[in-house]
Structures are given as structure tokens and as C-alpha cells.
Amino acid sequence: MLQPVLRDDPGNAAAWFNLGGLLERHRRWSGAAACFRRADELRPGVPDVLMALGWHLHLAGRSVEAEGVLRRCIEADSGKALAYTNLSHVLATLGRDEESLRYALRAADLDPTNNLVRLGEAFALFFAGRWLEGFRAFECRLALKMHDLVGYPWPRWDGGVVGTLYLRAEQGLGDTLMMLRYLAEVDCLAERVVFYVQRELLGLAREMYPAWDVRCVTDPMPEVDVDAWCPLMGLPSVLGLPCPYWDGVYIGPNPRIQVYRPGLRVGIAWFGDAAHDNDQHRSIRLDDMLRLTEVGAGGIEFVSLQAGQRGTDEINAASCHALVRDMSPEMPDMRAAVDVYSTCDLVICVDTAASHLAGAMGIPCWMLVNQRGRDWRWLRSETTTEWYPGHRIFARSLDEQWSDVIARVAEELRAWVNGMV
């Protein structure tokens, strides 16, 4: 209905603003930004319009412009907490983490009960390396995105000795894999654990803790008497362990599996869940990753670590079976994936569950990370991460394409192969 209104009345600023909001719901960031820009031209200086315009310029990849617009918004209304939060996100993308944290903390001072503001504070604290403070602020995610979890009838676990503990995975597979490092401490403190995980991780979790009652997150709530509960990503703050906590490799292959093969094997993964909010920034094309297969003159076997049909379909479409062996039929779940990963000398992947599984197993992993939309776990280091000592980060800067990053990885891979033979 907005299109006819604007044809008849192109000077209707409210209609342009509403059309921008409609395009936002369809993730059409550039179109939304153009509509908000038109609204601002018709009625300059309206804080809500400026905040929407600045944020959508950022989402459209125009973060430098976004910074200027959000500063105009704050000048127009210095008490608008979300404008400070959005500016904090923009500054983090531009690599100005100390300044980003100042604006995030200012937003939290202005509106300490706003969960979006608290989430922005958590991310800024993470990027500043203030992990435990960040995880405490990150508790806001439950009320913001996981309403079903906040209504549980049991008290939250305080980290002390407990009878029956209900522990629940709450986000993606990578998040769950990263938090498994804390389970040994949980096992020491809880007499009984009812652990709900994603279906793909059932077999792995049951093997790691056979005495636990491990169920799928889609199963009904436990019918047993529960003394306390904890979301999985709440473990760092509730346990008070050094963060990032690392006590060695915590996922290993089945010792009965013996694999004999010549040469070197490199596992690759080039995309994550398409429904992820950040997928547009983290996933790459198979064609870009295939450049790596030019290295090694046949001395490297490249295998696809993409589970599921999509990876198979992309390999089929590219007709590159001779270059990349599809391992998805051998990885029906994460337990089976552990045995496949254990045959790899190196994993090269984007920021997805593959990087977490490789890290948890102690397999050298080269991870491709985009500065735009960069996840809080990886800070700003160009080469390392505190969460996985065996990781090496290859960061894509704001003025680069993925092909530029792959070119650097190919050079390093060539040197790595020469050092191995």
C-alpha cells in the first residue's frame, strides 16, 4: 500500500520511513537505507530517522557514512541510548574498539534495562577482551531472543555443588562445541546432569559423558526433579573460571578407528548456516576455495567437511569431485564427524562449526574471518585467538575481497606443504 501512496505523494516523509521499515523486514538493507535517506531529506534531523538511516547504511556495507549519520542522531538527541549502541557497532567494524566500548557503556548508563543496549555492551566488552564482564552482560540474550528459557520453574545455578542440574544448549552448533570445554567442571559439581543438546551432537555428548542423561533440545522438558538450571553459554560466568578457559584438547576421535593413507589431507568448509544473521559476511563461494587445490601439485588430498546436501550439491554443480572429496555421507552427525576430522592434517574454513570442532580436537585450523560482521570470539587479532591455541586467523579487511584472502592462504599453504615434505 505504501508504493501507491508515494506515487501520489512523494513528499510524504512518514511513508518513506515506513517503506524503509518494510524493506528491513526482508533484509534489503540498501533499499531501506535509500528510503530512510529520502525521509531525512524531507524532514531533516528527526532522531528516529537518522538512527534508522545510520544503522542500515552500516548493514549495507557503508560504515564510514553510517558513523557520520549516527553522530548527527546523537547531536539531535543525546539521550537516545540505541544510537550510542549502533554507533558502537559501527566503530567496532571500523576497528576502533576502545571508542566502541565507550559508546556502548554510555548507552548502558542511559538505558540499563534495554536488552538491545545490554547486548551491544556485551559485544563491546568481548572485543575489548573483558570476557567475564562480557558474559555477564550477555545474559540479556535470554530475555531478548530466548523467551522460552526465562520461564523455567527452577532457580538459576550459582556454580556450587548441586543435586540435579538441567543444562541446555541454546544457540548454534559452534557455540555448543565451544562451551563443551566447561563440562568437566560441571561433572565435578553436579550429582546428576540432564543435558539437552542439538540433535547433531547427541552421540558426541553421550560418548563424552555416558553417565549423564543427554537429550535433544526438541524433546519435552525433563520430568525429573531439577534443583537448578543453566544455559550452556552461561557457564563461563557462573563457574568463574579463567576466560577463555583452555585445559587441553577436549574432543578426541574413536581410538578404535585407525586410518592409513599416504600424503597430506586438508579439510575445507566454505559456508555456514544460511539462516545465520551474519552469513552474508562469513560464508564464501566454493569457487574461491577451489583456488587452494592448485597448491601441492597433487600431494594434498582436499576433502569437504560440509555436512548435509548443500555441500554435495555445490561440489556436483562445480564438477570438482576430482579436486575435492565429498565427506558428507560419512558425517551423519558430529560424532561421526570427529572421526573424519581426525584424518585431517589441517582444516581451512570460514567462521562456522567446523572451526570449533577442529579447535576442540587440537587440529591445526586456518580460519577465514571477515572484519565486517566479525564475531566477538576472534577479537581483532590478525593471526591468533585465545579460544583455540591451534588456530590461525586470516582476516579480510574492509577494502579486500575474499579472493585476496584466499591468495594469502594459498601462499601460506604452499610454504606449509614445502615444510612438511
Give me the amino acid identity at 358.
Answer: A
CA distance 267 to 254: 19
Domain map of the chain by residue range? Answer: 2-138, 162-239, 264-420
Question: In this predicted model, which residue has the larger pLDDT, 395 or 144?
Answer: 395
- In terms of Cβ atoms closer than 10 Å to its own Cβ (0-12, 13-18, 19+), residue 99 is middle
Give the pLDDT confidence score for residue 419 in this predicted structure.
Answer: 75
pLDDT, tens digit, for every residue of 224-270?
899 999 999 999 999 988 788 888 889 987 655 555 556 799 999 99
CA distance 137 to 113: 11
Whether the pLDDT of residue 202 is over 60: the answer is yes
Give the pLDDT confidence score for residue 148 in this predicted structure.
Answer: 72
Mean pLDDT over residues 33-54, rounded? 96
Interior angle at CA 274, CA 308 and CA 359, nearest 5: 65
* Contact status, residue 20 vs residue 56, Cβ threshold 8 Å: yes
Mean pLDDT over residues 50-71, rounded? 96
**CB hemisphere CA count around 200 (13 angstroms):** 15
User: Cβ neighbours of residue 59 under 8 Å, at least 6 residues apart?
Assistant: 29, 33
The reply to whether 162-239 and 264-420 are identical in fold is yes
**Fold assignment, 162-239:** Rossmann fold (3.40.50)
CATH class held by domain 2-138: mainly alpha
Whether the pLDDT of residue 139 is over 80: the answer is yes
Whether the pLDDT of residue 374 is over 70: the answer is yes
Identify the CA nearest to 225 among candidates 189, 177, 178, 191.
191
Give the pLDDT confidence score for residue 376 in this predicted structure.
Answer: 87
Mean pLDDT over residues 94-115, rounded? 95
Q: Which residues of 242-272 are buried (b: 16+ CB within 10 A; e: fewer)?
A: ebbbeeeebbeeeeeeeeeeeebbbbbbbbb
CA distance 284 to 334: 22
Give the pLDDT confidence score for residue 359 in this predicted structure.
Answer: 95
Give the pLDDT confidence score for residue 23 in this predicted structure.
Answer: 92
Give me the amino acid identity at 414.
Answer: R
Pairing of strands 365-370, 346-350: parallel
Mean pLDDT over residues 79-102, rounded? 95
Of 205-214, 227-236, 373-382, the range with the lowest mean pLDDT is 373-382
Whether the pLDDT of residue 197 is over 80: the answer is yes
Maximum mean pLDDT: which of 99-103, 124-128, 413-417: 99-103
Mean pLDDT over residues 52-62, rounded? 95
Distances, alpha carbon 366 to alpha carbons 240, 288, 369, in Å: 30, 15, 10
Q: What DSSP state is assigned to residue 225?
A: -
Indicate the pLDDT class of residue 38, thresholds 50, 70 and 90: very high
H or E stretch including 257?
none
pLDDT, tens digit, for every residue of 8-25?
677 889 998 999 999 999
* Contact status, residue 403 vs residue 281, Cβ threshold 8 Å: no
Give the pLDDT confidence score for residue 373 in this predicted structure.
Answer: 81
pTM above 0.75, yes or no: yes
Q: What percent of the chain has pLDDT over 90?
A: 73
* Contact status, residue 315 vs residue 324, Cβ threshold 8 Å: yes
Whether the pLDDT of residue 320 is over 90: the answer is yes
* Contact status, residue 191 vs residue 164, Cβ threshold 8 Å: yes
* Whole-number average pLDDT of the chain: 91
Helix/strand/coil (H/E/C) assignment for every residue in 290-315: HHHHHCCCCCEEEEECCCCHHHHHHH
264-420: CATH superfamily: Glycogen Phosphorylase B; (3.40.50.2000)
The alpha carbon torsion through 57, 61, 63, 69 (nearest 10 deg) reads: -10
Give the pLDDT confidence score for residue 299 in this predicted structure.
Answer: 82
CA distance 262 to 284: 29
Give the pLDDT confidence score for residue 11 in this predicted structure.
Answer: 85
Cell of 86: 549502533
Question: In this predicted model, which residue has the larger pLDDT, 144 or 156?
Answer: 156
Distances, alpha carbon 311 to alpha carbons 199, 286, 317, 336, 386, in Å: 19, 9, 10, 17, 30
